[in-house]
Structures are given as C-alpha cells and as structure tokens.
C-alpha cells in the first residue's frame, strides 16, 4: 500500500542542502587533523598498500591504482583520484611527497600529467614507514566502504603532523582550507617541545617551527606577523621570489630569479613572464633587454638581461611591486577535528596530533601485550609439558581420540585412557593445562625435546616476560609512553628531515620611485568610433586639416594631465594621458573603453576634454527629464577613475547634453513630441555636481527631451527636422521652464 507523505518544499530543500554540504565538508574537501589527509588521499594510499606497491618493489600503472581505489573505496570518478595521486607525487607542491611517480607527472610551469594509462607509481619509503605502518596492530578503526563489501581505515596511523608538513588546500561548501607546508625536522622538534611542556605558548613553539617552508623556496618577508597568524589560524603570509645579480661579458648584468613564491607555480610563471614583457613595452622597465626562462628539472632559472648602467636594485623592486614575484599566501587552517570543521592554531594542531599519537600507541601496545600474553601462556604450557613429557606420551598412546587427550590435559579426565600404572593415572588426573596450551602440546614437534631446544624455549619465555613488563610499563605510565613517541619522532626527523628551503625575515615595504616623465604638450585625437591617441604638437600642426575633419574630439593637453570622458549615464570616467597610445598621426589608436571603466555597450559618450581645460570652465548638463544646471569645472578635478558627474531623476533618466557653457549664449531643448524651447543660458543656475538641477522645460504626459543644443550669438545653427532644415536661432526666444513652441512641419 502506497503512502503519500506531504512535506514543506523549503524544509526538504534546506535539509537536502545541509546534508550535501556536510558530505562535501567532511567526506571530500577538508583534511582530518589526525592524519592531515583528505578521504581521496587516504583511500589511494591505503589501496596502494593493499596492492603491495611498496617502495622497494616495481612500479605499477596508475590506471590500475585509480581503478582499484574507485571500485573499492572512492566511487566519485577517476579524475579526482588521479589528480590526488599526481599531487602527492609532485615535489614542487608537497613538502614531503608521499608517492614515487615514474613518467610525466607534470611540471612546476603548469604542464599537466600524462594520462594514467602511461604513468606508473609506487609508495615512498616515508609513506610506508611513517603513514601506513602498524595498520595490522588494530591501531585505528576500520569502517565499511560505500557498498559494505570492504573495510577501510577511518584514519591512517600517521606518526608526524602531516597537516603541517604537507599543508592542505580545498574548497568545501561555504568554507575553504589553505594550510602552507612546513619543514619536517622543525615540526618534529616543535612536537617534542610541546610534549615536554604542554603549557608552551605559540610564540615559544615558533622558536622551533620558524614558519612555512615552501618546496619552491622563496622568502617570507613578514616574520613579525607570523605569531598572530599561527595563534588564530588565519592571516596572510607575504612571499617574495629570490633574485640574484650575475655579471656577464662586456659589463652586462643579469637578474636571475632562482626561487619563486609558492603561489606562482603553474600558469602564473607564464603570466609573470608576460607581465615583465608588458613592463618593457610600456617603457616602465626600459632597462630590461631580454627575458629567457632557463628553468629545468634542476630548478627555476628565469634570466633578465639588463642594459649597461642599469640599476639592478631598482628593477628588482619594480618586479616585486608590479608582478607576482611578491605575492600573498592566504592562511586558513581549517580541518576536521572531532567530526566537525574547525579553524585551528599551531598549538591546537600539535595538541591534536599528540593526543592521536597517544591513542595510536595505546592501542598498538595493548595489541602487542595481548599477543605476548598469549605467547606466555603457550610457552608456560610447553615448559611444563617438557617436565612431564613421559606422562603426556603415555596419555597419547593410551587414548583413542584427540578429544580424550585434550580432556585429560585440561581437566584431568582419564576415563577410557589406558595407563601403564596407577601412579601414571593419578598423575594424569592432576593435569590442568589451558585449552590453548593443550592445543600447542598436541602440535609440538619431537625435536623440541632436544636439550638445547628446551633451553631456547626457556630463553624465549624470559624474553616474553620482559616484553610484557615493558608493555605494561608503557601502558601504565604516561611519561614512558611520551618518551617512546618522542624517540620515534627523533628517528623520523633524523632519517627524513632536510634543510629549510624558505627564508624567514622581516623586510620593509617596497617603495618604488617611479621616474619622472618629462612634461610635454601633446594633442589628443579621438574619432567618432571611440579610438583615441596622442600625437606631438608639430605632427598635428602639419596635419591639422585632416586631424580636425577625421576626429570628433581634438584638443591640446599636457602628457601629465588626465582625460575626462562624460557619458549619458551621468558618470565621468578619467584616464591618464600617458595611458593613451602616443605615436604617429596615421596610427589607429586604442578604443577609449579599453583605457578606462567606460562601457561602450551601456554608455554613450557626450563630451571629452582634458582635466586641466575644465578648471576655468562651466559645464552645462541637460537630462531626458528636462532638468538643467551649470557646474563649475573645478569640481571635476579628482583622482578617482569614475565619479558621478551629475545626479539623475531616476534609473531610466539619461543625459542628452554635457558640454562647456562658454562661448555659448542660448540653450535649445527639443522634446520627442516636437516642442522646441530657446532661452538664455544665463537663466540656468549654477549647482554642485551632486545636485539634480532645475526644470528647463515643461513636458506633457510621457514626453521627454530628445536633444539639446548650445547656440552662440550671431551664429546660425540648423538641424534636419522631419526631412527639412530647421534654423534653431529663428525659434522665438522664451523663458526657462516654458512649454516651448510646437514645430509641425
């Protein structure tokens, strides 16, 4: 029988989205604070362990690893598994690579890895010894896989703080993590220092863990800000590339970039080269003659050849300021702790790691103790059996079944067993071996009765007693367990530690003194299609007639000035004259919308002039709603790239006229319904640029202004209206805010 369940759609969507978000956060995007791995990384490494792809065995095809992982543990597509596998093998991304890749696994310059059918991989030695060891000792919980046909570890028994050593990055739903990699040796020392003094502060921890250690090297330049970042778990780390000056033949100098910021790996190296080329083309770095990328498997080497007499320090500062050679790494140490996402500081991560290590080692030694106790029981039984071996042989020969023997050995039951003497039977009734001991006695081989073998058995028993004593000591005393964990960390640091690659220092903010541009007068030219350029005054004077006829806006200005572009949306966009291409008269120029924030698809240019020219002028503004006003030109002397030049009535309102009031005397307004009004410009009041203005013409109903014209005295001005010429100067002079005259022809 079907049952229809009615539910609120919004509640269902909310619940479904929350479930989805938590699934992405916990089971996909964020690492676990205990092993520092995301689920896809954990499952891939565990699968490689299960497949036996160890560091001392041959490589196996990545396609095999990916397929097996996807089929058993991670049913989210092969691409995510292969990408995780590739990243774990890339030395330039991980502080401690976990996979040994064979084949094309991509490059630091952003080249992708080859297809999984071509590449091969196996575990690194550190992964096998430090990340996957002791899985057989019941140190972590195993949970069912997605279809409950396999078991997978809930977390790997990692013996170092991998979250710090390898860092992490991931984007979940509504949150993201970004943790930089650190030096393994320093992190190990920091953990040991915390275990010796749990009250240690973050600042004291940073005596051991100086800061991030990126595989690409570089220089962290905000050392004093690091304690606050590591205390809160979030902040910004500033990194610079390392630049060296080399001398060549003929007195030439070269700037050689040998280390880059971690954020530059991938496509950003190509972008950096393009940025340097743009600096050269725009004359901001004219002393750079040539750029060459000589990077190889040995490392980064980007060479910039300089002109003779160039200042390397000034150019280095320019690169730091204008390119990604100095960049910021956003830190957000977000990880899954106790089943929920949490932003963790440095001390909290180490504290979580130490708690995890105590849990791992407790379970490990409990498992080992149980095995040794079992071994002790068997060894005690065998030693006792050797002392009465003749009686046991007599029991074996007199019994008709294995059950009779076991019952006699464990409970002293002698019924049905033939003994040679009553004394033997009385002795047999006193036997009380355990079930496990009885089984071991029945399986014991005769050679164990040799005198030396009996001595060896007794020696093994003594060794077992010592191990039991050792394990009980560890399990019952915190200090003993802590000593073992610290010794283990020290061995890992000794075997796998390496020198720091990233320098940590305090550096002053780059102050770039831009060279002063010689101030010269130029002529700005812009055609009716919006293409702008500047030319020398002498070039303009030789081609004045052609320049005036071919261009809509022509005016003189200084090359240090700014150009103001007024549009029908009531905005003023400004750009530096230096940004406008300077060259030959017949050059096409560059669209003005490429030089400033002006959008040619949404705005229409009404007026263009140099900012200096506006200083002693008044500008007149007329809107579609017939609002008019004059504004002092000095109000537009601003440094912002875009400002509101005037206020409009509403979102639908637009300017129909913006321009200089001088040398004009009259203003003519034309409505869509054919009304014309001519009045003196002196009737228009002067307002601030943020004001709306006053009404220039009374409009009926839905009528609006179609155009506005400025007329000079004694100068005839005509327009084409309804396919006939209309002389605006002959329109009857009226007053502002009048209805105007209807022109019917």
The arrangement of strands across the sheet holding 242-247 comes to 242-247, 253-259, 302-306, 288-293
Please tell me whether residue 333 adopts helix, strand or coil conformation: coil
What does the alpha-carbon distance between residue 607 and residue 81 come to, in Å, rounded to a whole number? 58
Please tell me whether residue 238 adopts helix, strand or coil conformation: strand
Residues 6+ positions from 173 with CB-CB distance below 8 Å: 20, 21, 24, 25, 29
Report which DSSP code applies to 743.
-
Q: What is the CA radius of gyration of the chain?
A: 42
What does the alpha-carbon distance between residue 148 and residue 143 come to, in Å, rounded to a whole number? 9
Tokens for 336, please give them. 């899954």
Catalytic residue among 17, 82, 118, 365: 118
For residue 428, report the phi and psi dihedrals to the nearest 5 degrees.
Answer: -65, -35
Does 118 participate in catalysis according to the annotation? yes
What does the alpha-carbon distance between residue 681 and residue 669 come to, in Å, rounded to a whole number? 11
- Give me the torsion for CA of 90, 95, 97, 101, rounded to 10°: 20
Tokens for 408, please give them. 């006699």
- Work out the angle at residue 443's Cα, subtended by the Cα atoms of residues 442 and 444, and round it to the nearest 5 degrees: 95
Report strand pairing: 288-293 vs 675-680: unpaired
Report strand pairing: 234-240 vs 326-332: antiparallel
Residues 6+ positions from 19 with CB-CB distance below 8 Å: none
- The rounded Cα 477 to chain-centroid distance in angstroms is 43
CA distances (Å), 255 to each of 238, 262, 274, 281, 509, in order?
A: 21, 20, 16, 18, 20
Residues 6+ positions from 551 with CB-CB distance below 8 Å: 525, 526, 527, 528
Cβ contact 552:609 at 8 Å: no
| Burial annotation 84-100 (CB, 10 A radius, 16+ → b, else e) | bbbbbbbebbbbbbbbb
Of 262, 255, 271, residue with least CA distance to 238: 262
Name residue 121's beta-bridge partners: 60, 101
Residue written as token pair 């504290």: 351
Residues 6+ positions from 240 with CB-CB distance below 8 Å: 218, 219, 221, 261, 320, 325, 326, 507
Instruction: Give me the active site residues, please.
Output: 118
């Amino acid at each position: 029988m079907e049952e229809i369940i009615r539910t609120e759609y919004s509640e269902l969507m909310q619940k479904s989205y929350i479930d989805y978000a938590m699934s992405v956060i916990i089971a996909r995007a964020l690492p676990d604070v205990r092993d520092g791995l995301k689920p896809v990384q954990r499952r891939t490494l565990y699968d490689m362990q299960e497949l036996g792809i160890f560091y001392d065995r041959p490589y196996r095809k990545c396609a095999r690893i990916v397929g097996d992982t996807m089929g058993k543990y991670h049913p989210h597509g092969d691409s995510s598994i292969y990408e995780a596998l590739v990243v774990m093998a890339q030395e330039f991304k991980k502080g401690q690579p976990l996979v040994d890749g064979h084949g094309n696994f991509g490059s630091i310059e952003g080249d992708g890895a080859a297809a999984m059918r071509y590449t091969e991989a196996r575990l690194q030695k550190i992964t096998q010894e430090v990340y996957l060891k002791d899985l057989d000792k019941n140190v972590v919980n195993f949970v069912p896989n997605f279809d409950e046909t396999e078991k997978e570890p809930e977390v790997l028994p990692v013996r170092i703080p991998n979250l710090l050593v390898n860092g992490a990055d991931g984007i979940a739903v509504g949150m993201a993590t970004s943790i930089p990699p650190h030096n393994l040796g320093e992190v190990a020392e920091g953990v040991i220092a915390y275990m010796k003094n749990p009250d240690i502060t973050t600042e004291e921890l940073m005596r051991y863990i100086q800061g991030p250690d990126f595989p690409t090297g570089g220089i962290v330049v905000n050392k004093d800000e690091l304690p606050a970042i590591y205390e809160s778990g979030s902040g910004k780390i500033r990194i610079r590339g390392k630049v060296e000056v080399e001398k060549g033949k003929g007195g030439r100098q070269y700037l050689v970039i040998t280390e880059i910021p971690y954020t530059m790996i991938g496509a950003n190296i190509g972008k950096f080269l393009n940025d340097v080329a743009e600096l050269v083309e725009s004359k901001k770095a004219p002393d750079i003659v040539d750029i060459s990328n000589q990077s190889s498997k040995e490392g980064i080497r980007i060479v910039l050849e300089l002109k003779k007499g160039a200042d390397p320090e000034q150019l280095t500062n320019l690169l730091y300021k204008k390119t990604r050679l100095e960049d910021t790494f956003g830190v957000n140490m977000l990880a899954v702790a106790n089943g929920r996402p949490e932003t963790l500081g440095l001390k909290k991560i180490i504290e979580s790691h130490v708690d995890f290590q105590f849990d791992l080692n407790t379970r490990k030694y409990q498992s080992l103790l149980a095995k040794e106790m079992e071994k002790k029981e068997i060894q005690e039984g065998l030693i006792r059996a050797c002392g009465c071996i003749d009686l046991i042989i007599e029991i074996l020969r007199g019994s008709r079944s294995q059950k009779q023997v076991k019952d006699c050995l464990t409970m002293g039951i002698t019924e049905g067993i033939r003994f040679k003497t009553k004394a033997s039977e009385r002795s047999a009734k006193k036997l009380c071996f355990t079930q496990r001991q009885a089984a071991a006695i029945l399986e014991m081989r005769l050679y164990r009765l040799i005198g030396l073998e009996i001595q060896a058995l007794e020696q093994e028993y003594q060794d077992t007693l010592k191990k039991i004593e050792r394990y009980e000591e560890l399990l019952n005393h915190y200090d003993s367990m802590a000593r073992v964990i610290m010794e283990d960390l020290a061995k890992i640091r000794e075997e796998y530690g390496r020198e720091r690659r990233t320098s940590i220092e305090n550096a002053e903010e780059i102050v770039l003194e831009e060279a002063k541009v010689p101030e010269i007068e130029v002529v700005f030219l812009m055609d009716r299609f919006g293409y702008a350029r500047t030319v020398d005054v002498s070039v303009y004077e030789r081609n004045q007639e052609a320049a005036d006829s071919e261009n809509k806006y022509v005016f003189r200005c200084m090359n240090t000035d700014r150009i103001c572009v007024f549009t029908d949306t009531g905005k003023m966009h400004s750009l530096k004259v230096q940004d406008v291409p300077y060259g030959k008269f017949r050059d096409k120029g560059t669209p003005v919308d490429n030089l400033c924030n002006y959008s040619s698809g949404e705005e229409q240019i009404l007026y263009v002039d140099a900012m200096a020219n506006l200083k002693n002028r008044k500008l007149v503004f007329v809107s579609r709603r017939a609002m008019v006003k004059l504004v002092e030109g000095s109000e537009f002397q601003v440094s912002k790239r875009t400002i509101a030049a005037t206020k409009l009535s509403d979102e639908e309102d637009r300017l129909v006229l913006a321009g200089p009031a001088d040398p004009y005397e009259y203003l003519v307004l034309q409505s869509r319904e054919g009304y014309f009004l001519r009045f003196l410009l002196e009737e228009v009041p002067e307002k601030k640029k943020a004001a709306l203005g006053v009404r220039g013409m009374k409009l009926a109903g839905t009528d609006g202004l179609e155009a506005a014209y400025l007329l000079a005295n004694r100068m005839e001005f005509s327009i084409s209206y309804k396919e006939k010429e209309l002389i605006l100067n002959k329109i009857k002079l009226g007053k502002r805010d009048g209805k105007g005259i209807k022109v019917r022809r």
